[in-house]
A = this chain, B = another copy of it.
Amino acid sequence: MQSNTGSYKRVLMGPGPSDVDPRVLEALSRPTIGHLDPAFLGILNEIRTLLQYVFKTNNQMTLAMSGTGSAGMETCVVNLIEPGEPMLVCVNGVFGKRMSDVATRAGADVSTLEVAWGQVFDPEAIDQVLRRKPAKLVGIVHAETSTGARQPIEEVSRVVHSHGALLLVDTVTSLGGIEVNVDGWQIDACYSGTQKCLSCPPGLSPVTFSEAALQTLEKRKTKVQSWYLDLTLIRQYWGSERLYHHTAPINMNYALLEALRIVKEEGLENRWNRHWTNHCMLKKGLAAIGINYVAQAGHELPMLNAVSVPEGVDDAAVRKQLLEQFGIEIGAGLGAFKGKVWRIGLMGAASTKSNVLLFLAALENCLSDQGHKFPKGASIAAAIESK
C-alpha cells in the first residue's frame, strides 16, 4: 500500500491479525451511520447475541470494547479491582506478564505465580498460593500467544472459586479456534480480540462479565480509574438506556458482526475441528523436517504453533524470505523466545489445508537456501498423508 490505490495481499500465518474473509472486508466498507441510529443499535444487539454464542454464555453484559485485546484486558482489571485489593496473576509468557503490569498500574496488590515459558499451571499450585494469600481476582491466560500453550481452565476455576475469588481469563487467541465455555467453566470475566480466530481486523475487544463480576462492579466504592473503559458507564450505552458514552467505532462493528455471522454459519464445533485438523497436519509436516514445538506436550495450541528455530538457521532471514518471496507472514519469538522461536498461526480464515501445504513447501525452500541439513529421508508430503 505504498501507492495511492495499491494494497498488499499477504498470507497471514503469524500470531494475528489473521486473514480476513472478503465478506468482512465488504462489511467494513459500508457507509458509516450514527452511533445512536436505531439501525446501528440493532447491530449492537445482534453482536451481543452472537458474542454470547461464541463465548458460550448467557451473560447479559457481553459486548465489544472500542480498543484491541489489550484494552479488553485492561477493562476487566480496572473494573474489577479497586486500589489495594489483592490479585493473583499466573505468568507463563508475555500476556500473563502484561496482565500483572496492568494490575499493578490499577493499584492492585499483585502476587504472581510463575512457571517456565511454554509450561501450563497445575491447579494444585494455584490452590497452594491462594491458601497462603487469598485474592479477590485470579487472572490466567487460556491461550498464551507468546508460547503456544493451552491452559485447561475447568479445574483452575474450581480451585479459584473454592477460595471465593473471581476468575479472569484471557481468550484473545483461543476464542473461535478452540472451546471457550464461559458459563460451563464458570469464568467471571473474559476478554478476547477480533483479529485472531474470529478473523476480523483488529480494533475491538469482546468482553463478557458474569453475574458475580457484575455485582462486584456495582459494589465498587471508588470510580473505575479509566473513564474510557468504565463499564458502569458503557453498560448504559449497550443496555436499554442507550446513553451516549463515546462514539462507537461504527465500521469496525459492521465487520465484527459479519465475522461472527460467518462463525455461526460454520458452527463453533466445526470451526474447532477445522483448526485441530490443520494443526495436526502442520505438526506432522514440521516433525518430518525435525522441527519441534516449545509448548508443554499435550498442550499445544492448534491456532498458534510455536516451534524452535532449527540450530544454525537465521531466524530473521527465513521470516524475511517467507514474506518477500511468498507473501507469508509468520511471527518472531517474543521476550525470552526472541530469535529462538517461530510462531506459526493457523487462525480463523487462515486455517486451511492450502496454507499448511504452502507454508511447509515454502519453509523447506527457505531452509534449503540456508544450507540446512534435513533429517535423512525426510518427506513432508509423505508425513502429512500418513494416518
Quick check: B247 and A34 within 8 Å, CB to CB?
A: no
Quick check: B29 and A68 within 8 Å, CB to CB?
A: no
Quick check: A10 and B37 within 8 Å, CB to CB?
A: yes
Quick check: B37 and A30 within 8 Å, CB to CB?
A: no
Q: How many copies does the complex hold?
A: 2
Bound: A283/B106 CA distance, A: 48
Quick check: A68 and B251 within 8 Å, CB to CB?
A: no
- Taken residue by residue from 94 to 109, chain A's Cβ proximity to chain B (1 for < 8 Å, 0 otherwise) reads as 0000100110111000
Quick check: B251 and A203 within 8 Å, CB to CB?
A: yes
Q: Which A14-41 residues sit within 8 Å CB-CB of chain B? A: 14, 16-17, 19-20, 25-26, 28-35, 37, 39-40
A183 → chain B, closest Cβ, in Å? 28
Bound: A227/B227 CA distance, A: 14
Bound: A223/B202 CA distance, A: 26
Q: Which residue of B lies closest to A25 (CB)?
A: B29
Is A53 part of the contact surface with B, judged by Cβ < 8 Å?
no
Tell me which residues across on chain B come within 8 A of A20, comparing CB atoms: 31-32
Given A28-B29, A29-B29, A33-B10, A249–B252 Cβ distance below 8 Å? yes
Quick check: B246 and A69 within 8 Å, CB to CB?
A: yes
Tell me which residues across on chain B come within 8 A of A68, comparing CB atoms: 66, 246-249
Quick check: B28 and A8 within 8 Å, CB to CB?
A: no
Bound: A17/B250 CA distance, A: 9
Bound: A261/B226 CA distance, A: 33
Partner of A249, one of B9, B104, B201, B323: B201
Is A4 part of the contact surface with B, judged by Cβ < 8 Å?
yes
Is A74 part of the contact surface with B, judged by Cβ < 8 Å?
yes
Quick check: B42 and A30 within 8 Å, CB to CB?
A: no
Is A225 part of the contact surface with B, judged by Cβ < 8 Å?
yes
Quick check: B17 and A32 within 8 Å, CB to CB?
A: yes
Bound: A246/B188 CA distance, A: 24
Is A254 part of the contact surface with B, judged by Cβ < 8 Å?
yes
Q: Which residue of B lies closest to A17 (CB)?
A: B32
Given A67-B228, A105-B227, A10–B35 Cβ distance below 8 Å? no
Is A313 part of the contact surface with B, judged by Cβ < 8 Å?
no
Quick check: A195 and B1 within 8 Å, CB to CB?
A: no
- Taken residue by residue from 226 to 243, chain A's Cβ proximity to chain B (1 for < 8 Å, 0 otherwise) reads as 111000000000000000
Quick check: B247 and A74 within 8 Å, CB to CB?
A: no
Partner of A1, one of B30, B193, B247: B30
A247 → chain B, closest Cβ, in Å? 4
- Other 12 A-B pairs with CB < 8 A, given A8-B31, A104-B223, A105-B226: A2-B42, A4-B261, A17-B34, A17-B35, A28-B29, A32-B195, A68-B246, A70-B227, A71-B246, A74-B227, A195-B247, A201-B251
Chain A residues within CB distance 8 Å of chain B: 1-2, 4, 7-10, 12, 14, 16-17, 19-20, 25-26, 28-35, 37, 39-40, 42-43, 66-71, 74, 98, 101-102, 104-106, 193, 195, 201-203, 223-228, 244-252, 254-255, 257, 261, 323, 329, 334
The 19 listed contacts between A and B (C-beta, < 8 Å) are A7-B30, A7-B31, A8-B39, A19-B31, A19-B32, A25-B251, A68-B246, A68-B248, A68-B249, A69-B246, A74-B227, A102-B227, A104-B223, A193-B247, A195-B250, A201-B249, A202-B249, A203-B252, A249-B252
